[in-house]
């Protein structure tokens, strides 16, 4: 049984197959075709955290693929009314996969441990693999042009993440390592990606080009992608004022973007606090690909779902 808890669960070939499947399905949809590849299949969305993009993109994606989805909120009593073993094995009797959005990564690991149903990480404090898949799909489209996608146009594309070395930054750094893309984190001291994660990435991908700088101005001229995220994530509200002071020099604004080359694009995983980590003129500006990026959550996840639940269709239709 396969799970996607982090991108370490996939080989480089599998990552490319998932992205190629996403591209194929997106083209079909653009041409008005919605093949019912997952007809009769149902996924459960087990969420401890609120969501817009993750929930709607998975539900819409399953609908377009001919399948169904069930939203599982607090009323199902996860971790409260019965043992984790009973809860998970019962889900396996009803569902073809579970997408879990949890406060702790240990929670999704617990679900996967019982091998009762395929588990997809929809976001944890450690990792956000579905976001990273959508990010790379977007970057490939931006630099291929005309709504196309070519893996060759990812080669050497330098991604700079501005801000906290959080779950999104970790996942994107790993995805860049998988595909041979340089990744730089611009962050203040004490907010870098943890050494345990970086060592694991470098062990799996010895040629990974991962670096860290103190300020985005140090490398922005070399960056093809400028990526940022909120300074205060869910669960960090007590640190809000401290984080605002520390990250103030890391705002992606027009002054910073004036140092980037004209073809560089701006990404943000959303939701954004306009005027805090990114200014309104940048998020709505000509270099922003943020709305396309949000839309690609659905397309990337459709590719993942079909790869996970209908591998024979992928073998037959995706090249």
Active site residue 101: yes
Sheet of strand 225-228, all strands in order from the earlier edge strand to the far edge? 210-213, 183-186, 159-162, 225-228, 265-268
- Length of the chain in residues, anyone? 319
Catalytic residue among 107, 128, 243, 251: 128
Q: Which of 100, 176, 265, 269 is catalytic?
A: 269
Is 128 noted as a catalytic residue in this protein? yes
Which entry of 64, 131, 289, 293 is annotated as an active-site residue? 131
- Of 3, 175, 243, 297, which one is the catalytic site residue? 297
Task: Name the active-site residue from 135, 164, 224, 229.
Answer: 229
Question: In whole angstroms, what is the distance from residue 193 CA to residue 170 CA?
Answer: 6
Q: Which two tokens stand for residue 61?
A: 């994606």
Catalytic residue chosen out of the listed positions 3, 24, 101, 243? 101
Q: What are phi and psi of 291, to 5 degrees?
A: -70, -40
- How many other CB atoms are there within 10 angstroms of residue 217's CB atom? 13
Q: Could you tell me which residues are beta bridge partners of residue 233?
A: none
Provide the Cα torsion 217, 220, 221, 224; round to 10°: -170
Residues 218-222: contacts with CB under 8 Å, at least 24 apart: 218/186, 219/158, 219/160, 219/184, 219/186, 220/160, 220/256, 220/259, 220/260, 220/264, 221/259, 221/260, 221/261, 222/158
Which residues contact residue 135 at a Cβ distance below 8 angstroms, ignoring those fewer than 6 apart?
Answer: 172, 175, 227, 267, 269, 293, 296
* Residue 189 annotated in active site: no
Catalytic positions: 101, 128, 131, 229, 269, 297
């Amino acid at each position: 049984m396969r799970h996607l808890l982090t991108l370490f669960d996939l080989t480089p070939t599998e990552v490319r197959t998932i992205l190629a499947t996403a591209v194929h399905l997106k083209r079909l949809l653009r041409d008005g075709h919605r093949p019912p590849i997952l007809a009769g299949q149902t996924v459960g969305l087990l969420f401890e955290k609120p969501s817009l993009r993750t929930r709607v993109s998975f539900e819409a994606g399953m609908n377009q693929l001919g399948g169904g989805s069930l939203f599982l909120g607090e009323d199902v009593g996860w971790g409260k009314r019965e043992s984790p073993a009973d809860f998970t094995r019962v889900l396996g009797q009803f569902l073809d996969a579970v997408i879990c959005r949890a406060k702790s990564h240990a929670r999704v690991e617990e679900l996967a441990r019982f091998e009762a149903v395929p588990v997809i990480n929809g976001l944890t404090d450690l990792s956000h693999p579905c976001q990273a898949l959508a990010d790379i799909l977007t970057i490939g489209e931006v630099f291929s042009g005309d709504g196309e996608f070519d893996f060759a146009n990812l080669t050497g594309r330098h991604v700079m993440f501005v801000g906290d070395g959080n779950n999104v930054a970790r996942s994107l750094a790993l995805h860049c390592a998988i595909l041979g893309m340089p990744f730089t984190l611009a962050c203040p001291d004490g907010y870098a990606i943890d050494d345990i994660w970086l060592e694991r990435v470098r062990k799996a991908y010895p040629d990974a080009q991962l670096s860290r700088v103190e300020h985005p101005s140090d490398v922005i001229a070399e960056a093809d992608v400028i990526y940022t995220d909120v300074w205060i994530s869910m669960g960090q509200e007590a640190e809000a004022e401290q984080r605002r002071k520390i990250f103030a020099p890391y705002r992606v604004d027009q002054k910073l973007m004036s140092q980037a080359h004209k073809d560089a694009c701006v990404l943000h995983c959303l939701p954004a606090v306009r005027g805090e980590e990114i200014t309104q003129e940048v998020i709505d500006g000509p270099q922003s690909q943020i709305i396309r990026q949000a839309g690609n959550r659905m397309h990337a996840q459709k590719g993942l779902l079909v790869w996970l639940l209908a591998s024979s269709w992928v073998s037959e239709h995706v090249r």
